[in-house]
Each structure stands twice: as structure tokens, then as C-alpha cells.
Amino acid sequence: MILHKCKRFVLLSSKNPSFFYKPHFSFSFSLIFFSSSTKNQATNDLTVIDYLLHKHQFSPETASQVASVLPRVKNLQKSDSILLFLKKSGFSKTQLEKVVKSRPGVLCASLDNTIKPKIKIFQDLGFPANDIAEIISNDPVVLYRSADNRVTPSLSVLKSLLGSSAEVAKVLKISGWFLKNDLEKTMVPNIKFMKNCGVGMEQIIKHIYNFPRFLLNSLDNMEKFVKTVDEMGASRNSKMFIYAVRVVSSMSDENWELKLKLFRDLGFSEDEILVMFRKAPQVFAVSARKLKKVMEVLLATGKYDISCIVNCPASFICSVEKKLEPRMKVLTILDSRNLIEKWPSLATIIKMSDIKFFEKFVNPFLNEVGEVYMANGELTVKRNRKLTRPD
């Protein structure tokens, strides 16, 4: 049968050579299909680094980093649709790079099930496109969170506390942790507990902005932190109470004990440590290196001792290079030349603004201390000179 067909084919072709050149629908369709398939295959054969570099103009650094984690993508057309959607949603090239660099798998994600629903939640709550792009590019993990169980409830809690989408956006630009936690199980109970401890809502809101992870501790841990603060003698009626709890929460039990030991080693008694903690708990979050440096600078003057520091623990928070050292050097020079009657108290020096210090201790004695203060606080001197002396 096969032999018979072959003979017929040869006979037809010998009688009509144009047989080979007549267009046949099946042949033309196959050619088109083959051409299209080859083109698609060529596209999908692109390496990720070539795809990101040449098609989407990513930086070589980003393309290389993404390719090291994701060397090949099966469906580049799908990746195109994801990147195009994000661009249309307001993401800049830099923000797109941040997203893909942080989460290379986003190139293989489901546009309809993973990407679009998260963007829509923000849009429905009134977030402008630039805020959405900044929030997500800062922490793309939000794209992988459950829309119904995590993203929507968290945004609703934040909006009820902060009052508007604009304020929620400010917080989320600082930290994406609020969208990673179940706020109904962490932040909401902690806020209620803090209020029961006498902390005002204004202070609580301030900590949401400034220390976003503080209120995301478990309630059990928060109760433990408060117990430690109570044992240190901090008053719940003090405005410093919530700062004390926050500082304790930032350290493990072991690190907290090491910090207390450091103060003892620096020469402070147990009572003095407690006094400083009640006055300025933030000091206990300062690094050991800085604590030692501040002690060195202040005690070297011979005018301040440990009791002065206990009365003004905020001195540990000041910048050594920009504030303490320049001021101590100026005062030392003025004192050696009998140009000041009495050294100001440490609290006065710490609280005094740059302008007031300059006007009181530098400007009247520019010939004596101008160069010294210039070397340690050049920007301050230049700014204040314009205020005190005409050109």
C-alpha cells in the first residue's frame, strides 16, 4: 500500500514538476506554526540576565543578582505582563528593580491571584499610586500575604488608629512589619494593656511611628517588660514610662543584665542607675562605646563628676563629636583664660541650643575660641556668624 502511494507520487511529480511549487494550505499553516513556535522558543530561551538587561533596562547589578537566584523563567510573556502591570500601577524603574531584586520569584507569580488583589486593596482604601509603589517596593513581601486574612485587616486596624490612609502610608513607608503581623492578636491587645497602665493614646500613636516593632510583641512579653520596668521603680504616671518599657523590650534578658553591669563598671551605684533609668530610660539603649566616650569627655574637664551625670543622664544621648566635645573645649579655653566666672551646669550646657551657646560663649570671644569651635562645629559657626555679624 505504501509502495503504491510512493509510485503515484513519483508519477504525478514527473508529469507535473510544478507540483512541488504549488502552495498547499497544510504546508503554509505548518510553516507559520513553525515560525511562531521558533520565535516564542527563542524568547523563552533568553537568560534572565539578558531579559532584564535588554528588554526592561534593569541595571547590570540587579540583573546579575536576580539571575543568580533565578537563572531561568519558563514564561517570559507572563513576566512581561507582571512588570507592565506594575509600571502602569505607578512603579518607577527603580522601584521595579527593588521589588524584583528583593523577591525574584515575583517574575513567576500569578498576576491575577497574587499581584492584582494586593494592589486593589490599597487602591480601594484611597492610597495614591506613588504611596502604593513606595510601600510595596520597600517591602515586597506584602504581595505574598493573604489579602483577606492579613493585608485588609491590618490596613483597617491602622486606619482606625491613625485616622486616614495618608497617615497609614507614612507608617508603612517606615516599616512593613504591620502587614506581616496579625494586628488583632498583637498590636490591639498591647495598646489596650498600655492604656490600662496609664499611657495616653497620644504617646502610643507616637510610638507606632517612631518604634513600629515595639507594639508588635506578644502580650505575654509586653507584660514581662512592664514588670521589669515596675521593678526598676519607674512610675506609671510618668511620661517616661512607655519609653522605659520600649527600651527594655529592645533587649534580651542577657543583654539587659550586661547593660546594667556596664553602668556599674563605669562607677554608678545601684541607686544612681535606678535614678538615671527613671529620668531618661533611652540612655540604656545607647551603645557601650558611646557611654564610655561621654564619660571620658565630661570627666576630663574636672568640672563634672558622676553625680552631675546622674542629674543629667540626657548627656549620654548627645552627639559627642558635634555637641559635647566642641562645647567642652570652648569652656576649657575660656576657663583657662579667666573669661568665664563659673562653669554652667551640665544640664544647662546640654539643653542650650547651638545658637544660644554660640552667642553666649563663642561670639564674644572669637579671637580666643573661634578657630577651635570652627574646627569642631564649622557649620554651626558659619550659620551663626551670619546672624551676629554683618558682612
Low-confidence ranges of the chain (pLDDT < 50): 1-45, 378-391
Whether pTM exceeds 0.75:
yes
CA angle 72, 74, 80 (to 5 degrees): 95
Q: Are 318 and 344 in contact (CB under 8 A)?
A: no
Chain center to CA of 256:
25
Residue with cell 537563572: 71
At 47 the pLDDT is 84
Cβ neighbours around 389 below 10 Å, total:
9
Where are the chain's structural domains? 42-109, 110-181, 320-391
Taking alpha carbons only, the member of 156, 205, 202 closest to residue 179 is 156
At 19 the pLDDT is 41
At 367 the pLDDT is 86
At 310 the pLDDT is 97
At 376 the pLDDT is 63
pLDDT digits (tens, 9 = 90+) for 61-93: 999 999 999 888 888 899 999 999 999 999 999
Chain center to CA of 320:
25
